[in-house]
Amino acid sequence: MAEKLKKRAGLGRWLALAIAGCVLLPIVSIAWMGFGSDGARWAHLLATVFPRYLSNSLSLMLGVGAVSLLLGTSLAYLITHLEFPGRKWVQYGLFLPLAMPSFVAAYAWVDVLEYAGPLQTTLRDLAGWSSVRDYWFPNIRSLPGAIFVLSLTLYPYVYLLARAAFRELPASGQDVARSLGLGHMRQFLRVSLPQARPAIAAGTAIVMMETLNDFGTVDYFAVQTLTTGIFSIWLESYDPGGAAQLAVLAALIVAGLLGVEKIGRRRARFHKSGRQLAPIQPQPLSSRQGAAVLLYCLVPMGLGFLIPLMVLVAPVVSDLSLWSDTGLWRAAAHSLALGGASAGLVVTLATVMVLGLQKTPAAWRKSLLTLTTVGYAFPGAVLGLGILIPLATFDNWLADLVFATFRRDPGLLLTGSAGALIVAYCVRFFAIGVGAAEAGLAAISTNIPLAASTLGRGPKDVLVNIYQPLMRGSLASAMVLVFVDTVKELPATLLLRPFNFDTLSTHVYAQASLENFHGSTPAALLIITLSLGAIFLLAKAHR
């Protein structure tokens, strides 16, 4: 029996290693392509387009990171430390901008703020201005405009983690600070902020990585970044080697961000007493102060979600024929199919890998699981490029094999179909599945599956009858999150989709690129509706 269990454990470990290898293959492929390309191409990139791409990318990341840091941290502190009217509902409403894809918000804000939009038209009517020469108005299609839009849709990442960190702080620290005469601001700076700094740093790092991943917003605003550069060099200059080198540089920036975030938390040490400590109790405010705090909380919620939503709803209400577009429903069907397949595959593979590595030494297990989750940190354009080359090589090898055997050409089975998209989604969002599988596994006593194995139950029986029912909740949540993220994913989808194949996100992008904002609104609303399911799960998990 012991020999049989050992053999099963070894098989599970090899299966887990195979899954990990497939997840890491695109990253290895990008590195191989980038560093194996001609050195003259590196010199050309560094002397021409790279400085502009790098400058814009860093400026965008730092700007969005700084605004999101200030906004998300301040909102989290106000929600957890102060009592004011509407606080119970506002604390969950601040999650809503996560349901608004950044590129969709960008299209909505351009419709509001452009020269022919309602705001400038109203100003001209009220002031009697006749042309743009009579007044100055900020250009939304610019680097500051991109920072504005991305900050409003990404700050919830900082708010989410900072709020969780503030809620775990004991009330004793605040009580001591108040007894020493410290006001709210000094309590925040001296007591709460230092203890929540690791969570805030992690949230800010996520925001900056999501900013680097963005393509739709920066492309629409004509801000040239590393991500738009990858598309330009690959699709317009037909230079895969140059695109790979640019992708390597983007990957190095991501690695640097992860390293800085880890170093920033390395020396942070906070200890809690072994006994249960009372949580922080929000302090009541006067009516005037409460109204001011409520207004401050409503502004980012309104700018990041409610106003863009109203802009999107208006055209489809006034013109119901927009919903009759067959291309819209074809794209919706594609998104549902891709999202469902990717979610099921991610959760299944992640669960198999986590379970297969149970008997592996802790250090190796932790390192391997960490490596398989780095795909979430890499821009979709980088992963798309890394996936396309090995899949194309495999497709051509398989087509040659089939032709040599059966004298029939099967075509490109993966890169010529939606298969490449599913692979890209699995690599990009594998971290969600791993996190959910580890969380579910941690709640199961090791004695239960061990007892089943000693009673002669095989790995399949243990997985289906023990692990699956006990891990169902966390795995279901992961499936919803992966599904929503695949529906919203744009860069990798644009690179890997087959000819004449649209998803909801690419349908929105295509219509907006043609300046047909009204035609893009039904698909945008469907994306937001699906995303609200993930927001509901987040709100439920962070009550």
* Tens digit of pLDDT at every position of the chain (543 positions): 445 445 555 565 677 777 777 777 887 887 777 776 666 666 777 777 888 888 999 999 999 999 999 999 999 989 988 888 988 899 889 999 988 999 999 999 999 998 888 888 888 888 888 887 888 888 889 999 999 999 999 999 999 888 888 877 766 556 555 665 566 666 666 666 777 777 888 888 889 888 988 899 999 998 999 888 888 887 776 677 777 777 878 877 877 776 766 665 555 554 444 444 556 677 888 889 899 999 999 999 999 999 999 999 989 888 888 898 888 999 999 999 999 999 999 988 888 888 777 777 777 777 777 777 777 777 787 888 788 878 888 888 888 888 888 878 777 777 778 888 898 898 888 888 888 887 777 766 666 666 666 656 666 666 666 666 767 777 787 888 889 889 989 888 988 888 889 999 999 999 988 888 888 999 999 999 988 877 887 777 666
What one-character-per-residue DSSP string does 309-333 give?
HHHHHHHHHH-GGGGG-HHHHHHHH
Q: What is the pLDDT of residue 525?
A: 94
Look up the pTM and report it: 0.84
Exposure of 485 by Cβ count < 10 A (0-12 exposed, 13-18 middle, 19+ buried)?
buried
Q: What is the pLDDT of residue 364?
A: 74
What is the dotted CATH code of the domain comprising 1-29+329-543? 1.10.3720.10
- Do 1-29+329-543 and 37-267+279-318 agree at the fold level? yes
Residues 6+ apart with CB under 8 A from 183: none
Under DSSP, is residue 255 helix (H, G, I), strand (E, B) or coil? Answer: helix
C-alpha R_g of the chain: 25
Token pair listed for 503: 């998803």
Q: How far apart are CA 103 and CA 527, in angstroms?
A: 12
Q: Quick check: 283 and 72 in contact, CB under 8 A?
A: no
Q: Quick check: 245 and 41 in contact, CB under 8 A?
A: yes
Q: What is the pLDDT of residue 1?
A: 45
C-alpha separations of 519 from 45, 313, 511, 513 in Å = 38, 12, 6, 11
What is the dotted CATH code of the domain comprising 37-267+279-318? 1.10.3720.10
Q: What is the pLDDT of residue 330?
A: 93
Token pair listed for 236: 């317009």
Backbone angles phi, psi at 425, to 5 degrees: -65, -40
Q: Quick check: 337 and 344 in contact, CB under 8 A?
A: no
Q: What is the pLDDT of residue 451?
A: 63
Domain boundaries, the chain: 1-29+329-543, 37-267+279-318
Q: What is the pLDDT of residue 312?
A: 93
Q: Quick check: 74 and 192 in contact, CB under 8 A?
A: no
Backbone angles phi, psi at 70, to 5 degrees: -65, -45
